[in-house]
Amino acid sequence: MLASVLVGVLLSVAPAGDAAPVGDGAGEQSPEVEPPAPKLDHLPAQPEQEHEPGLGGSEDVQPAGGEQPAGEQPAGEQPAGEQPSGEQPAIEPGGTTPPGEGQGPEIPESDEEDPNYAELDAAIARTEDLPYFPTAARKSAVRRNNDVLVRPFRKPVYTVAAAARLGVLIGRQQVVQPIGWGVAMHLRLHFLPVVKSRFGVEIQGGHSRFQERRDYESFTGNQLTRITLLTHTDFGAGPSVQIPLGAVYLQAGATAGVSVSTLLRPISADSTEDELISETDFLLRGGMSLGVPILNRHGLSLGVGVQHVFSNREVAVDPTVTDGDKATPFSTWLDSFLAYQVWF
């Protein structure tokens, strides 16, 4: 009994590293028995990680049996719904984004700015290609597709026009009232650049007529209305010039050609006594007009012209008076016209 107490005191005083288990018998040492290793077959294989001791010198110890403390996750596993640190979130494949998502708001373009201005400025960058009043020409070209207004002068411009005429005879003595009407066709080909204009040729053809109603007494005593008719059918060609002025064109030309002129004048109610004169004479014509492209190179043309027929034929102003005043029926007249015009 006393021996056991002494052995206990010695063991408590001796260092922990020098203590040795003492068996029941004196001088006998019991062998150290290691506890059985926990079975980890049911856990997934874990990569080896280097472990650094904490600041306090304590080391993390995994409990036996593979159990994890509450609130901790096994090494290599991340909580559900979280991305591993250092990795970017997965990008969904294209085509899965609903329409309208992921796009910024669309900003409407201003009416004052047109993307065609840049191309147009590049096309007319050369100083010699700028028309007079280029700002107005550019607005008409961009907003109404009248690009012919800013076309370089080295490129040709062709025009076709259908016109309605209003004519006035010029002269002191006339055989018919002086106001008439007619129609005409104009073809202009401008292909030669000169300064800020184009020169070319002009071809015109038209028909004008002046008529007057007069009453005659028939053999039965009734009044019979008959018509005095003066007509000119003209055809000519000559030089022409076209000058762009902002959003309009100034056009001028002169033509030379022929005119087929006819005078049909009744003298009485009897048609067999009618006076009929017809001849072909040389014709000169000069005129100018203002062309206004409105939309897509289609527009109007307003102008005036003077035509003179070289004829020496004279007739009596009053056919019932033999020695009365004389007049030249085929002479000069002034016409104004309004035309529908197309530019090419």
Phi, psi of 76, rounded to the nearest 5 degrees: 85, -5
The whole-number pLDDT of residue 4 equals: 62
- Cα–Cα distance measured from residue 182 to residue 333, given in angstroms and rounded to the nearest whole number: 12
pTM for this model (two decimals): 0.59
Q: Which residues of 310-327 are buried (b: 16+ CB within 10 A; e: fewer)?
A: ebeeebbeebeeeeeeeb
Closest alpha carbon to 291 in 344, 334, 236: 344
- Cα–Cα distance measured from residue 143 to residue 149, given in angstroms and rounded to the nearest whole number: 12
- 305: Cβ contacts below 8 Å, ≥ 6 apart: 285, 286, 287, 288, 334, 335, 336, 337
Domains located in the chain, CATH noted: 116-343 (2.40.160.20)
The predicted-structure confidence for 259-295, as pLDDT tens digits, reads as follows 999 999 998 888 888 889 999 999 999 999 999 999 9
Helix, coil or strand: residue 135? helix
With a pLDDT cut of 70, the percent of the chain lying above it is: 62
Q: Which residues of 169-208 are buried (b: 16+ CB within 10 A; e: fewer)?
A: beeeebbbeeebebebebebbbeebeeebbebbbbbbbbb
Closest alpha carbon to 300 in 338, 333, 264, 247: 338
The mean pLDDT of 217-236, rounded to a whole number, is 89
The mean pLDDT of 203-225, rounded to a whole number, is 89
The predicted-structure confidence for 95-154, as pLDDT tens digits, reads as follows 455 555 555 445 445 444 454 555 555 555 555 677 888 888 888 888 888 888 888 889
The mean pLDDT of 82-91, rounded to a whole number, is 52
